[in-house]
């Protein structure tokens, strides 16, 4: 690659990389805190843990394609703003939930809030980079996400 074709020279590359990193960390923290709380704070039954797992993942199966279309129609920045806003709001709801039932409703809303980030980020990547960079960026993003997940497990194990 010529110097002018390096990925780090593409306008917005570092911002997008930071966005992907933050999104991966938030998703990991959400998942870990939700299921740690439901297990150790609420002392839930296996049935309730199963319900929480289902309602966390179900929105992706049912609403995932629709949210992806919304990102195409409304634009990635609006969807990212809505997604991050809903993530923050549901985190507050989960933190303040007075009962396991409201906690599980918050888990469902958290699953919906997590849906918008990925398609919006993909649109930003597509709009920012030429087709020849797509494979390299996908590899870099996957590697960064794997490293983040592996690195964040260590502090969690120490804290547990």
Reported as a pLDDT band with limits 50, 70 and 90, residue 154 is low
Q: Is 45 left (phi over 0), alpha (psi -120 to 50) or beta?
A: beta
- Which two structure tokens, joined as six digits, stand for 30? 């959400």
Q: What is the pLDDT of residues 99-145, one digit of tens each?
A: 999 999 999 999 999 999 889 988 887 777 665 566 566 666 666 66
Reported as a pLDDT band with limits 50, 70 and 90, residue 150 is low
Own/partner pairs, 15-22, CB within 8 angstroms, 24+ separation: 16/121, 16/124, 16/125, 16/128, 17/140, 17/141, 17/144, 19/80, 19/121, 19/124, 20/121, 20/141, 20/144, 20/145, 21/144, 21/145, 21/148
In whole angstroms, what is the distance from residue 133 CA to residue 85 CA?
Answer: 30
What pLDDT score was predicted for residue 1? 46
- DSSP-assigned letter for residue 44: -
Give whole-number Cα distances, 96 to 48, 68, 90, in Å.
18, 30, 10
What pLDDT score was predicted for residue 152? 64
Q: What is the helix (H) or strand (E) element at residue 94, kind and residue range? A: helix 76-96
In whole angstroms, what is the distance from residue 55 CA to residue 74 CA?
Answer: 26
- Record the pTM: 0.75
- DSSP-assigned letter for residue 116: T
Q: Smallest Cα–Cα separation from 83: which of 112, 56, 63?
A: 112
What pLDDT score was predicted for residue 99? 94
| In the predicted structure, residue 160 carries a pLDDT above the cut 90 | no
Q: What is the pLDDT of residues 33-68, one digit of tens each?
A: 999 999 999 999 999 999 999 999 999 999 989 998
3-state secondary structure of 119: helix
Which of these ranges, 8-22, 45-59, 76-90, 92-106, has the smallest mean pLDDT? Answer: 8-22
């Amino acid at each position: 690659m010529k110097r002018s074709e390096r990925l780090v020279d593409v306008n917005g590359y570092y911002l997008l990389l930071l966005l992907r990193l933050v999104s991966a960390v938030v998703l990991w923290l959400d998942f870990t805190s939700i299921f740690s709380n439901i297990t150790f704070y609420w002392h839930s039954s296996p049935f309730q843990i199963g319900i929480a797992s289902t309602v966390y993942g179900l929105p992706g199966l049912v609403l995932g394609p629709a949210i992806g279309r919304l990102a195409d129609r409304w634009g990635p920045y609006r969807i990212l703003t809505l997604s991050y806003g809903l993530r923050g709001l549901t985190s507050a709801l989960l933190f303040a939930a007075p009962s396991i039932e409201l906690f599980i409703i918050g888990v469902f809303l958290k699953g919906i809030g997590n849906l918008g980030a990925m398609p919006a980020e993909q649109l930003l990547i597509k709009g920012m980079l030429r087709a020849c960079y797509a494979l390299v960026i996908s590899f870099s993003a996957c590697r960064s996400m794997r490293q983040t997940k592996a690195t964040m497990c260590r502090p969690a194990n120490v804290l547990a």
